[in-house]
Structure 1
Amino acid sequence: MTWARRTTFWRYNLFLEVVSLALASAILFAGIWFTLNRINQDYLDLRLADAARVHVFLESQLDEARAGLATFADLPATQRSPQVMKLFTAFSDIYCLDRALRVVQIHKAVPNSKVFTGFSFSGGKLASYLQSVGESTDASEILRGYEDDAPSVYIGIHRGDEFCMGRLNLDYVRKFLIQFSQFSGAPLMLTASDGFVMLSGDPALQLPAIDLKRWVETPNASRTLTTGNRRWIPLIAPTGAIGARIVMLVPTEFLDTQRNTLLAFGLAFMSGWFLLVVLKNHRLNRLVMQPLRAFAGKLRDLELGKLRTADADADQRFTELVEIHTRFRAMAEAIKQREQALRDSEKQYRIITESMKDVVWIFDMETRHFLYLSPSIEELVGVTPQDYLAAPFGALLTPQVTDQLQLLWGQRAAVLLSGGSKPGQSYVDEVLHPHRDGTLIWTEVVSTYWLNEETGHVEVRGVSRDIRERKQAQEALFIAKQQAEEANKAKSTFLSNMSHEIRTPLNAILGFAQVLIRDPHLTAPQRDSLTTIQRGGEHLLALINDILDMAKIEAGRMSVQVVPFDLIQLLSETEGLFQQRARDRGLNLTFALSAIPRGVIGDAQKLRQILINLVGNAIKFTRAGGIILKVEPAGAEQFRFSVNDTGVGIAPEEMMRLFEPFSQTASGRELQGGTGLGLALSYQFVRLMGGQLSAQSSLGQGSCFAFTLPLPAAAGAETGTDQARRAVLGLEPGQPVCRVLIVDDLPDNRAPLRALLESLNPQPPVIECREAADGREAVALWEAWQPHVIFMDMRMPVLSGEAATRRIKARAATRPAAVRSVIVALTAGAFDENREQVLASGCDAFTRKPFQAEELFGMLERLAGLRFRRAGDAPPPPDVSPEDLIRRLSASPADWQAEFKQAVGLGDFGHMEALLERIRDDDAILHETLARWAYDYDLEALAAVFKLG
């Protein structure tokens, strides 16, 4: 590159330092300006947030006023005495208006009020507000009151044909604004929507109005308002509940101080830097530049051949310069020899590059031109190397590719020059290169960056190769991946629909089976038939769950639910599940537990399913001998589970695919049982829980399946109670009535659940049931009937279960007196991903179809507070016939009869209880019967007995 005008290094260095000084000054002052703006803006945003919080205070006061007006409106007219009116301090005036907005009655008024009985509020902004009360408006905007022209806010409420209106007492708002202004140092004002100042925290400012349109924009320290001999920055908060705007006047003194301090610092810093530059250049000129100028003169002598060997180095002070002069002549000869070697090397390089299919090239970053292109460029893009070298950079490329290469090459060259990377570091890019025929070719560009020491330019050396075939393969792979994802999605959709369609009839089958099997009047054959139906349905449900679990695992949706549980109880329940089956087959089932804690943390449900699968398989494939389940410690908080059997064993050639889905061994195919999913699911569950399921087997001798799981100890883990495991026989009598609404679009789903619940009822009934066929009908029944419990199907026409739940919860939240219904979600879906979504809609619990009776009983016990009679509880008092009751009553002492009859006539239940204690030991049946009626406050039954007696 030829410079139009050369200069000395001294001047150039000085120029650079001046430029750097100027640039640094610009950057410093730009930074100061940015910092000031940022600080100012953050400060103003903070003050604006403070102003906006005032609305919270106003909202709370407004809410209290609404509640107070509602209380006033609910008072009978006879109770609205002057003494009562004094309690409504939130209002300065309270009126009753007719439909024409005329004052019918004044209950409270300020002194010298301009409003009188018959006064009409039908004009102005207030009239439009009063006409919209109960629709969209909560409170009127702040305006001048009709009573005394003071700032006012009006609130209205309808109660039947009566319309009550109150004017808020804004003295507390004025005091709050004054206190807030004095505390913050920033006056706070409350303005109407037209900008007139209604209330001010600093009355001394005497500011009648604010131009809201001018100051509503983002606050800026440069936009100020001058009033009261001070400059202020107006901050306008959004419109609040009463239609007013909060205006805060922030004084500018604090921001001015910050600006002056930062500017002073910047000037002091730049002055110090300038002095340092002057001193440094003075030293540089004396110690460096003068010796360099002398050395340049020596080089000119060398160029002219005037260097004499006798005194060539006599004037040199530094050893380095002496060495340079000594080696200079030897260097010239060496240069000639190396130039020849370089020409030979270049010849060989051209032979190699010209024979390559890939394009080899060199690009100069300074001149923006290619220095070399191998002939294979013509085969790649249809342009000869000569034409490519003659064209400007980017002329044969697309603008996008040109910009991409300039950006990437420029950044990497800058990193090389700054020392951030080493010379020769390689980079790989993919570039869409245009062909001469107009098509686009994908090329892979491998580039390295070098600094040419002769020219001082950064050179990019690279190789470009055609990667069209690879790109086509990648595109085919991407399409295949998309197709696989779509197929997986279609499978999930199919499984979800399949689950819903199968679970829906299963809900009716298993539901009615659970209802009918509870009938104590069933014959043994009938009970066996129902047990067969129930077992078949549960087996089909288990198969569906296994398929869905495998689908979840394949889709990556299965997760581990880690909770505290009772390990010993889980093992005991598993043993009880299989003990009778093992006895029926003449097998010995043993659970060997070695020093294991009761409470642990893990996924109890998956562990239970693993053990059920392994023990169940062991019993199924064992004809004689026994099965042993061992649980023993295997390290810190690690436990080893192993299931050993003396069964038929597994052939070695079948061990490799033992844990594959839908795969069965030869013995399994002989038995013609199972789906081949049990071991596959167990293997995946163990892996999810942090273990590895392994198997060892000898054909004809038995098998051993073992795994080790981390189960940290959990102090106080929930162990369950005997009561929770005992069968429910019915509901305890004497409880408050519980209204239950069953919502499902299919009658076959509603009928078994209703039959199950009503079968629990004692006399008189505790549960009352109603049904709804869709979400809209459920909302209407909730409005009219107020059920305590709602069993809500999620998938229904007209209005879904989720939408109906949201509506019911929203309406209940606005009505303090409404029943807080417990909503249990029922779903026949395949996956549980929507569990959180369903619960977020407002449901209190979640269960799957087909429903399990014991699970529903537990929900009613936990969420609705119902009390159940379970197997093993003390029997209820026996039913007594009227004749037997009269006989027993006649046998009691006469004075006791007279005294008890008198207590019944007076309704004195306390005295009745005391009298009943006197006959507890004499006649327990009479005591229990009369005590139950007294506990239920059943005076009618007690009076009827004594009338018969």
Structure 2
Amino acid sequence: MRSNKVASIALLVSVALTAIVSAVLLVFAAYSYSNESEKRWQELQRVLNVSADQLALGVALPAWNLDENQVLSIMRASMNQRDLHAIVMYASGSKRAFVVQRGAGDQLEIGQPLQTTPEMLVAQRPIVVDGTTIGTIKVFVTPTYLQQDLREQRHDDMLAILLLAAVLVISVYGLLWFLILRPLKAVGQYVTGDTPQKAWFFGELRTLKESIHKMWELLDSRYRAMRESEERLSVATRAARIGIWDWDVQHDELAQDDEIMRQYGLKTRLGGGNYKAWLELVVPEDRERARTEVAAALKGERDFSLQFRIRRPDGALRYLRSMARSFRDESGKVVRMVGVSIDVTEATESEQELRRHRSHLEELVAERTEALSVAVAEAKSASRAKSVFLSAMSHELHAPLNSVIGFSRLMAHSATMSAEERRNMAIIHSSGQQLLTLINDILELSRIEAGEVGLHREAVDVAQLLRDVSDMVGERAASAGVALKLECLAPARAMMLDGAKLRHVLLNLTANALKVERAGSVTLALRSTALPGGRHGLSFSVRLAPEVMAETGGLGLAISRQYVHLMGGELEVNASPGQGTQFHFTIETSEAVAGEVPAHLPRLAPRDQGRRLLVVDAGADSRHLLRSLLAPAGFDVHEASDGAEALDAVAKLQPELVLLDWRLSGLDGLELTRRLRADQSLAQPRVVLMASPAVSDGRQQGLAAGADEVLAKPVEQGKLFRLLQQQMGLQYVEGVLP
């Protein structure tokens, strides 16, 4: 009978839990069904509205041209949505209607009488051409398929919930029986003395079984444990040198154990064995504090706790720590206090000694801190003096140097000077330039050390940057008979970094290598490594021939080290005989997403929005970078990758301005400009050539070919926007030109 009750309880719990879960699932299913139904109806309405809008636009021109076949063709093509039932077009001033609808077997019928039902949704739109309404179009959608899908979904949800409920009832009942009810039954049999049936015990049930099994042992040992408690406590207090005292407050009787006698240096009880006798042993300086603590404990304000000093009969001064608990009668009055006493003399004396040492150390620290403050102040004063000196020297040196460099250049072109004098003047000019570079490097290094130099991150085509660096030093390498090699494994997308400082570092390292290399090779290399989180590791290196040892010092290299450090890397130099020299560093950066431009870039005024530009560049990344800069500003940007494609785009799109890269495969930018200007049948756009600074007389050549302006690559954002403003007469209303 008992087992039946247990089984019924398990079944009740299983059914109740299943009912609760099923109810929750039903509520969730109803809520989900309601949301899905609402979304489907909204989607059906959206399809209706979109179809009506598209048809009103699509049939406008054929209807205006009275092209019935084109109208019907557009209406038939629009019936590809299964929910669309019929499309009807009425022409203004005519009773005739064009009808396309679904008939039997879902076949399209044209020209048949319109057949609709009240539950169908309908949208009506006017057909407008040049502001004139020439007709009306109606679109009907049927909810039949939507309702059928919703019914099927509701049926599937209910079936899934019923199956889940059945599985849950069986599973929960089985788990309750095997994991809880069967083990509990076995425990009950064990308690009653019956032979328990075999069962598995887990977790708390195993603990319960073991607890019941050991209960009789605990009960049997309880008495012996209590009897031995006092003996153990006595042994423990003697070992720990803890004295125990008991004060009967009502009768003023104070009892102490042997440890208390030892602490106070007595052989008998404290005088008369009362509170007054104990208080007389406390040194006079601590007695008032002792009285206060005892009074607070008797009033019930707090438990008694006091550290005090006593004077033993032999004259020794000892530090004691005493704590007690109060016991009260029915009225709340303290009638008894039981406490302990510990001799803390050694610990207290050690703490006092440590305090004296700490005080001495604090004095030493204060002295050292004061001396350090003086040193810091002197260092700051020296730094300020250095800055003032460098600023003054910069002004004093730049003025005469500019005169030396300028006049030496003028005199070198004098017709009255001999060849020897021109050589001497060239030496003066070159030396002045070197001295000016040296002064500028010193000033830049001073600004870096003062923390006045920061990073300006922008979207940079790293591969193009390396090509520009190679072009800039290419003529110098060729004149020195050195093979300049470029190994570029750059990422496909533009990177966010400080392009100006990176270009400065690479130019400095490459130029430094060319100074010592004579007939071998210099390699400028880049390797990219993909990192987690969409970041990239860019490893740059400049390598010399194995037999060449480059200089590893100088102001230029010092500035490069600081720039690399600002970018998050470390410039390292590996140089060994027979192995040559390698300068290398690695920085981490992230990809420039589409449309990512600095927040301060401008935006076109409303009257200038949509001004059409054509970007012609063989590099996809370069085109992407320019589009990312110009499109967010409001320009209508189009692209071409070569000369033939550019000519075709100019003829079709008629852009107002063409941004044209100098270096194109086949037909280069210079020749393309000449052909544009020679073809009078084309609407002549303004042409801006983009050329590397390494192209000698690039601006003169570009203007001679017919270009309106030449822009240096890599393109600087500020110069680009200012040039477009000048060439196209633009007005910006947002942002600030960099």
TM-score (norm 2): 0.37
| Higher percent of residues as helix | 2
TM-score (norm 1): 0.30
